[in-house]
């Protein structure tokens, strides 16, 4: 029997559909496999070729397992430069800040920062730059090493396994003594993988004891910390255990805490263990209050140095990036240091955090445009506006502090007694703390523009008030 043409057409159509469906199935399955494979790549983007543990401070060893992160980490040795970021000068020696801004040198007279104070640069240099600064011509304490080397195994050795106990011994050691110990024990590396990652799980973590103590004091205080919500949650709980960033903090918070181990205001000398002054909160005024409440071993009020010309008891501020960031809109919106300074890059299907920690302005595309859908030039212009106005206020503050010092020197020459000079000296302490706070902070105001402007406004006001007080003493 002959099949009707109609039936054979149906058969052809049927076979066609089967082939199509089969083809589509193969394609979809292949796609699924591909997606699955890529998902696996993302979840477990490495093969552990070598075991790493707590004492492995050499990043090269970790590089066997995580070559992408290690490769970008090594690039912190490259020179970077933006209008206000990175560093000027040569690769041998970054530019001297105290020569670029002579008022800085004047403010620091009587302290080692008036001898040598340069632009910062990449993480790769932290240990060499520290051991080579001419500030080392004055005796420095072992506490300095906390933020400039991968020294946790040394702390543990000094504290019989207890890193905090170990750290609490190092302020009495000289810088040279501890530096030699770090070298002898084989840990003379800049900040390394083990400082920010758990070697078992690769989870982000904090290791630095001074950060632990500082953040616990902050948690125990009543200070509002809207930019660190996990502290609020811990405060409402039973408080059966001390606040522990490694278990209580969110992943977003950890992406800033990792940097807060070092990019913070601190006190470091042989007088007491390294201290982060957060017992009253993270604002500039809270830090000042903590220092004012702190006593030196002789029972006197805390200060970093006596100003050579005026005799005022001065507070020196150091790189308060973590603190200033915490007062800005980005922190309030949950934007972490790593979002801007370690932006993700694509490598095949895996997202890799760029370990070339540097100015985000060199990388606006990945650092900012993930959230802000404006052209690169527009974003750079916004930063430029913030930084230029901050710079302008900073220079005005520098002029004001110089005039204040001139007035005090003149009052002294005119025979003013130490008792009479006291009000001007106290105003110098307040003015200089504020001015230095923003000068030493490394974002030129960007991390919290309004807060930076508030602080600089107060600095200029206190400096001018002090100048008036001193001028009054000249008959």
Site for ligand HEC in 293-352 (CB under 6 A): 319, 321-322, 325, 328-330, 333, 335-342, 352
Q: Phi, psi at residue 191, to the nearest 5°? A: -40, 130
Query: What single-letter DSSP state applies at residue 350?
Result: E
Site for ligand HEC in 41-80 (CB under 6 A): 59, 62-63, 66, 69-70, 73, 80
Does residue 213 interact with ligand HEC by CB under 6 A? no
Contact of 411 with 471, CB cutoff 8 Å: yes
Q: Binding mask 264-283 vs ligand HEC (x if CB under 6 A, - otherwise)?
A: x-x-x-----x---------
Closer CB to ligand HEC, 103 or 462, in the complex: 103
- Segment (H or E) for 31: helix 5-43
d(CA 270, CA 211): 19
Instruction: List strand residue ranges (DSSP E) for 245-342, in order.
Output: 267-269, 272-275, 305-306, 313-314
Closer CB to ligand HEC, 95 or 184, in the complex: 95
Instruction: List strand residue ranges (DSSP E) for 178-259, in order.
Output: none
Give me the least distance between CB of 107 and ligand HEC, in Å please: 14
Does residue 257 interact with ligand HEC by CB under 6 A? no
Residue choice 6, 138, 251, 475 for contact with ligand HEC (CB under 6 A): 251
Give me the least distance between CB of 340 and ligand HEC, in Å please: 3
Part of the chain binding ligand HEC (CB under 6 A), chosen from 164-172, 232-240, 377-385, 451-459: 377-385
Does residue 171 interact with ligand HEC by CB under 6 A? no
d(CA 92, CA 99): 17
Part of the chain binding ligand HEC (CB under 6 A), chosen from 99-107, 215-223, 252-260, 467-475: 252-260
Site for ligand HEC in 425-454 (CB under 6 A): 440, 442-444, 446-447, 449
d(CA 326, CA 9): 73
Closer CB to ligand HEC, 130 or 425, in the complex: 130
d(CA 460, CA 396): 7
Closer CB to ligand HEC, 303 or 410, in the complex: 303
Q: SS3 for 204?
A: strand
d(CA 317, CA 288): 10
Q: Binding mask 179-208 vs ligand HEC (x if CB under 6 A, - otherwise)?
A: ------------xxx-xxx----x-x----
Closer CB to ligand HEC, 72 or 467, in the complex: 72
Site for ligand HEC in 102-141 (CB under 6 A): 117-118, 120-123, 125-126, 129-130, 133, 135, 140
Closer CB to ligand HEC, 192 or 467, in the complex: 192
Does residue 84 interact with ligand HEC by CB under 6 A? yes
Closer CB to ligand HEC, 251 or 475, in the complex: 251
Q: Binding mask 142-161 vs ligand HEC (x if CB under 6 A, - otherwise)?
A: -xx-xxx-------------
Closer CB to ligand HEC, 23 or 186, in the complex: 186
Contact of 171 with 270, CB cutoff 8 Å: yes
Q: What's the number of CA atoms in the CB half-sphere (13 Å) around residue 90?
A: 2
Contact of 460 with 343, CB cutoff 8 Å: no
Number of residues that bind ligand HEC (CB under 6 A): 91
Residue choice 189, 355, 412, 430 for contact with ligand HEC (CB under 6 A): 355
Q: SS3 for 207?
A: coil
Please give the angle made by the CA atoms of 153, 154 and 156, to the nearest 5 degrees: 65
Question: Strand pairing of 350-353 and 305-306?
Answer: unpaired
Does residue 101 interact with ligand HEC by CB under 6 A? no
Please give the angle made by the CA atoms of 73, 77 and 81, to the nearest 5 degrees: 110
Does residue 367 interact with ligand HEC by CB under 6 A? yes
CA distances from 462 to 215, 402, 428 (A): 30, 12, 7
Does residue 284 interact with ligand HEC by CB under 6 A? no
Does residue 407 interact with ligand HEC by CB under 6 A? no
d(CA 47, CA 89): 41
Please give the angle made by the CA atoms of 55, 61 and 67, to the nearest 5 degrees: 135
Question: Strand pairing of 272-275 and 313-314?
Answer: unpaired
Nearest to 69 by CA among 366, 362, 354: 354
Closer CB to ligand HEC, 143 or 290, in the complex: 143
Closer CB to ligand HEC, 11 or 365, in the complex: 365
Closer CB to ligand HEC, 382 or 472, in the complex: 382
Closer CB to ligand HEC, 289 or 382, in the complex: 382
- Residue facing ligand HEC at closest CB distance: 85
Which residues lie below 8 Å from residue 334, measured CB to CB, with a gap of 6+? Answer: 252
Does residue 170 interact with ligand HEC by CB under 6 A? no
Partners of residue 301 on adjacent β-strands: 295
């Amino acid at each position: 029997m002959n099949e009707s043409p109609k039936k054979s057409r149906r058969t052809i159509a049927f076979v066609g559909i089967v082939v199509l469906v089969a083809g589509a199935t193969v394609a979809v399955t292949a796609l699924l496999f591909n997606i699955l494979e890529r998902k696996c790549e993302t979840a477990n983007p490495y093969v552990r070729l070598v075991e790493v543990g707590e004492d492995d401070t050499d990043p090269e060893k970790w590089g066997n397992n995580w070559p992408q992160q290690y490769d970008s980490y090594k690039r912190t040795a490259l020179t970077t430069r933006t209008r206000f970021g990175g560093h000027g000068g040569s690769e041998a020696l970054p530019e001297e800040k105290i020569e670029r801004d002579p008022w800085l040198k004047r403010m620091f007279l009587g302290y080692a920062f008036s001898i040598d104070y340069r632009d910062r640069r990449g993480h790769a240099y932290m240990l060499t730059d520290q051991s080579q600064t001419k500030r080392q011509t004055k005796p420095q304490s072992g506490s300095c090493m906390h933020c400039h080397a991968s020294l946790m195994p040394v702390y543990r050795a000094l504290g019989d396994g207890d890193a905090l106990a170990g750290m609490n011994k190092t302020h009495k050691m000289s810088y040279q003594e501890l530096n030699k110990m770090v070298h002898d024990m084989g840990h003379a590396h800049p900040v390394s993988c083990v400082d920010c990652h758990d070697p078992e799980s690769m989870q982000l973590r904090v290791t630095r004891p001074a950060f632990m103590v500082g953040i616990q004091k902050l948690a125990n205080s009543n200070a509002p910390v809207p930019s660190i919500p996990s502290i609020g949650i811990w405060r409402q709980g039973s408080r059966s255990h001390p606040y522990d960033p490694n278990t209580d903090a969110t992943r977003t918070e950890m992406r800033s805490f990792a940097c807060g181990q070092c990019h913070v205001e601190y006190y470091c000398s042989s007088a007491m263990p390294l201290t982060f002054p957060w017992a009253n909160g993270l604002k500039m005024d809270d830090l000042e209050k903590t220092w004012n409440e702190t006593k030196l071993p002789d029972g006197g009020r805390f200060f970093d140095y006596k100003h050579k010309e005026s005799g005022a008891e001065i507070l020196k501020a150091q790189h308060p990036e973590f603190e200033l960031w915490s007062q800005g809109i980005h922190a309030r919106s949950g934007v972490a240091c790593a979002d801007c300074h370690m932006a993700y890059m694509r490598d095949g299907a895996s997202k890799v955090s760029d370990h070339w920690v540097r100015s985000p302005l060199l990388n606006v595309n990945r650092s900012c445009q993930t959230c802000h859908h404006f052209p690169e030039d527009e974003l750079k212009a916004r930063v430029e506006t913030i930084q230029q106005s901050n710079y302008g206020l900073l220079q005005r503050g520098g002029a004001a502090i110089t005039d204040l010092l001139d007035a005090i020197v003149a009052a002294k020459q005119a025979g003013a007694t130490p008792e009479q000079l006291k009000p001007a000296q106290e105003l110098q302490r307040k003015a200089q703390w504020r001015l230095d706070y923003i000068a030493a902070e490394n974002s030129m105001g960007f991390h919290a523009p309004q807060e930076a402007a508030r602080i600089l406004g107060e600095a200029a006001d206190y400096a001018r008030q002090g100048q008036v007080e001193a001028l009054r003493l000249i008959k």
